[in-house]
Amino acid sequence: MNAAQGWGLNRVATRALPVALGLLVLGACATRGPTPDAACAATFATQHAATATSRDAQYHLLDDFPGLRSDRVLAALGAHARTPAARRLWLQRLAAHDREASAIERANLPPGRRRHLPEPARLEHCRQQQVERSSRDPESFRQVVRAAQVPSDYRRWARALGLYPLVKPFYRRAIAAWQREAAAQQAPAEHAGWLSYRPLAAAPATPVRLREDALGLPQAEPAQLAALFARHAPEIRIAQRSAADQLGTPRFARDGQRRFDAHDPVLYRHHGWSRLEGGWHLQLIYQFWFRERPSARPLDIYAGALDGLLWRVTLDADGNALLYDAIHPCGCWHALFLPADSPLQFRQPAGEEQRLARRLGLPGSQAATLWLRGGDHALLWVDARRASRPASRYRFADLDALRQLAHPDGQHSLYDRRGLVPGSQRLERWLLWPSGVVSPGAMRQWGRHASAFIGEAHLDDPDLLGRYLARPAAPE
């Protein structure tokens, strides 16, 4: 039996072994009959069935390899993990994703439904058994690499049924019109109507030198990562039109319904990686929320509950910004920004959706100020001006906190099992469904941002930015 069949049913190969040796081999997984593989498969089947209603969508569950989950960064790294240390580290990262998601799924169940779940220690034993087996067996490792590829978030059947080739030109014209409007924006004049938000504490000026792990990913120690987040935290300016333009955070109230707390401005943090010209770069991801995008007119197809912005900073080896990009939590309106001293240049690849790109006046060592329009919260301008008037202060929190918010039943995720925020759907979905995007306009969980209507693109794809940005070719 090869490693790919290891999660199927086995029988003890011989009855001639002493009972003591049989118990030693089977260990804690089983006392008779199934091998540890089958027992662990049954354990994870029990876990997954019990937590199906609270399934977390951030990572991809690997078929035939329970106890491992992937994301698009790990999917891109698997085939390049060629040393034993790299292969083991890669498998351990898959196991860590499953450990994290399983703990969230368990805790998001009502207390009465947690009693009969497998013990976390038992799940961990089975995860490590899977890691050990696949790190030793080359064929098993290759199969894990194939299983770790994250499926597209685009529905191909919707594109076929919606006659996508016929509607694509309309999408292209709408995108081009938005980009012309955005490109024509000028630096806004400061006035009393701008709401200002900045971090609670000033950023430390400590230099940071990132180190690479066995997979080639730049890593920062927790204190270094916190310092980088503080250094690049943006100041946020919003032209206030209504209470919907105040930063805050979603919560669950005592009745179990979602509410928005505008008295607690939060900038949520997450980190990831991007691959540019074969090299990996650490990314800082910031996300903030508004209560809603209010209707600007009767039957406003873009209006709905919750709105916000993601601001992503891709770093060089010294912790300075190499590039920025911004997108709304629906996966819409992706824009790229280059610091004044970035060596990268924008290039529009043939066949890809057009991206708005702009070079800024600020250097990559300086935090940006984001100027947002009131109402639709469009990002109008980016510079380094600071508010001359007193600003409100926001605090930091991990973006993962939204996967496990306090709830009358214990805790609950902001997102459903598809990675969408329930109740945030927009009417625009009835016009844009032929694009293949699930519920266009709805707010999304990290890892679920389909970010193009022309072709396919995923915000967490580590190679997405490299399709648009590169260093200029050296003169011959």
- Binned at pLDDT 50, 70 and 90, residue 105 comes out as very high
Query: Distance between CA 267 and CA 232 in Å, rounded?
Result: 12
Q: Where are the alpha helices (DSSP H) in 308-407?
A: none
Tell me the per-residue pLDDT of 249-287, one tens digit each, with 9 for 90 and over: 999 999 999 999 999 999 999 999 999 999 999 999 999
Tell me the per-residue pLDDT of 322-361, one tens digit each, with 9 for 90 and over: 999 999 999 999 999 999 999 999 999 988 898 989 999 9
Nearest to 405 by CA among 247, 248, 249, 251: 251
Percentage of residues in the chain with pLDDT exceeding 90?
Answer: 80
Phi first, then psi, for residue 156 (nearest 5°) are -65, -35
Residue 361 burial by Cβ neighbours in a 10 Å radius (0-12, 13-18, 19+) = exposed
357 vs 32 pLDDT, higher one: 357
Nearest to 154 by CA among 390, 441, 465, 453: 453
Say yes or no to pLDDT of 18 above 80.
no
Most confident option among 222-226, 297-301, 309-313: 309-313
Percentage of residues in the chain with pLDDT exceeding 70?
Answer: 91
Say yes or no to pLDDT of 134 above 70.
yes
Is the CA virtual torsion 181, 182, 188, 192 positive or negative? Answer: positive
Is the CA virtual torsion 219, 223, 224, 227 positive or negative? Answer: positive
Predicted TM-score (pTM) of the model is 0.90
Query: Distance between CA 77 and CA 90 in Å, rounded?
Result: 8
Tell me the per-residue pLDDT of 377-396, one tens digit each, with 9 for 90 and over: 999 999 999 888 788 999 99
Structure token digits, residue 38: 């089958």
> Buried (b) or exposed (e) across 177-199, using 16+ Cβ within 10 A?
ebbeebeeeeebeeeeebbbbbb
- Binned at pLDDT 50, 70 and 90, residue 22 comes out as very low
| Residue 269, helix vs strand vs coil | strand
Q: Considering only 11-15, 101-105, 188-192, 333-337, which range has the smallest mean pLDDT?
A: 11-15
Structure token digits, residue 263: 């008295």
> Buried (b) or exposed (e) across 383-410, using 16+ Cβ within 10 A?
beeebeeebeebebeebeebbbbebeee
Q: Considering only 115-119, 293-297, 421-425, 463-467, which range has the smallest mean pLDDT?
A: 115-119
Tell me the per-residue pLDDT of 441-456, one tens digit each, with 9 for 90 and over: 999 999 999 999 999 9
Query: Distance between CA 371 and CA 306 in Å, rounded?
Result: 19
pLDDT of residue 8: 37
Structure token digits, residue 310: 């993601």
Say yes or no to pLDDT of 293 above 90.
yes
pLDDT of residue 351: 82
Say yes or no to pLDDT of 4 above 60.
no
Please provide the DSSP assignment of 55-111 as one string: ---SSEEPTT-TT-EE-HHHHHHGGG--SHHHHHHHHHHHHHHHHHHHHHHHHTS-G
Say yes or no to pLDDT of 180 above 80.
yes
Q: Are 334 and 451 in contact (CB under 8 A)?
A: yes
Nearest to 217 by CA among 280, 276, 274: 280
- Binned at pLDDT 50, 70 and 90, residue 475 comes out as low
| Residue 193, helix vs strand vs coil | coil
Q: Please report, to the nearest 10 degrees, the dihedral formed by the alpha carbons of residues 100, 102, 103, 105 taken in order.
A: 120
Say yes or no to pLDDT of 158 above 80.
yes
Longest dimension (CA), the chain: 86
Say yes or no to pLDDT of 174 above 60.
yes
| pLDDT, mean of residues 287-312 | 97
Other Cβ atoms less than 10 A from the Cβ of 60: the count is: 21
